[in-house]
């Protein structure tokens, strides 16, 4: 019998931001919206640790999405258009050029161009890119969990400290 992939299981992401991104990557909008309230420890404001998990997740998802071969500019533009279109009704939509900057950066190209984007916009775009690519690949919960656990591991390894989901008395993490 395989490991459970329920958000309270040990295979699920261990951070609040990982749980939020998991819901987004699996198309669970209602849960994603509820979990948004847990980011930054449930307080208004911003921290730099949680976006590190989303950054690594976007890198891992896009490497898997595009594969090991060189990615064509047309494929990047197509995904950037999709990302931009998904934000068209947002209060502050971001354009295709901004989405393409984030995608190229996640693929290891043009990292310096990210400096022109606000941190919150990088976070939004990376989250949407990771979500759309995972949905396009039809990743299963176990695959998303493994990818996000790796993203969390790398974020911690890079020196970031995103808030962990507290453990319940039974030892399982709450969601």
pLDDT tens string 57-106: 999 999 999 998 889 999 999 999 999 999 988 888 889 999 999 999 99
Measured distance CA(130)–CA(62) in Å, rounded: 7
pLDDT of residue 3: 40
pLDDT (tens digit, 9 = 90+) per residue, 4-28?
444 445 589 999 999 999 999 999 9
Assigned domain for 85 exists: yes
pLDDT at 169 over 90: no
* Domain region containing 84: 16-157
**Do the domain assignments include residue 23?**
yes
- Local confidence band at 174 (pLDDT 50, 70, 90 cut-offs): low
Q: Which residues of 83-101 are buried (b: 16+ CB within 10 A; e: fewer)?
A: bbeebeeeeeebebebbbb
Residue 140 lies in a domain: yes
pLDDT in the model for residue 172: 54
Q: Please state the rounded mean pLDDT for residues 130-152.
A: 97
127 in a structural domain: yes
173 pLDDT higher than 60: no
Q: What is the DSSP string of 102-167?
A: HHHHHTTS-GGGGGGS-HHHHHHHHHHHHHHHHHHHT--HHHHHHHHHHHHHHHHHTT--PPBPPB
Answer whether 14's CB lies under 8 Å from 149's CB. Answer: yes
Average pLDDT rounded to a whole number, residues 122-144 = 96
Give me the mean pLDDT over the 141-164 stretch. 97
Closest CA to 104 of 79, 87, 128, 124: 79
How many domains does the structure of the chain reveal? 1
pLDDT at 90: 86
């Amino acid at each position: 019998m395989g490991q459970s992939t329920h958000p309270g299981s040990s295979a699920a992401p261990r951070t609040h931001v990982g749980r939020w991104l998991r819901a987004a990557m699996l198309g669970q909008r209602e849960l994603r919206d509820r979990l948004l309230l847990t980011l930054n420890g449930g307080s208004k404001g911003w921290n730099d640790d949680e976006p590190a998990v989303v950054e690594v997740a976007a890198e891992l998802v896009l490497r898997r999405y595009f594969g090991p071969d060189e990615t064509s500019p047309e494929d990047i533009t197509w995904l950037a258009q999709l990302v931009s279109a998904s934000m068209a009704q947002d209060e502050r939509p971001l354009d295709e050029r901004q989405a393409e900057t984030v995608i190229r950066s996640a693929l290891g190209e043009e990292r310096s161009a990210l400096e022109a984007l606000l941190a919150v916009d990088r976070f939004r775009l990376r989250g949407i890119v990771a979500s759309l690519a995972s949905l396009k690949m039809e990743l299963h919960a176990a695959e998303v969990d493994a990818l996000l656990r790796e993203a969390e591991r790398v974020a911690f390894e890079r020196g970031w400290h995103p808030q962990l989901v507290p453990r319940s008395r039974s030892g399982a993490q709450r969601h």
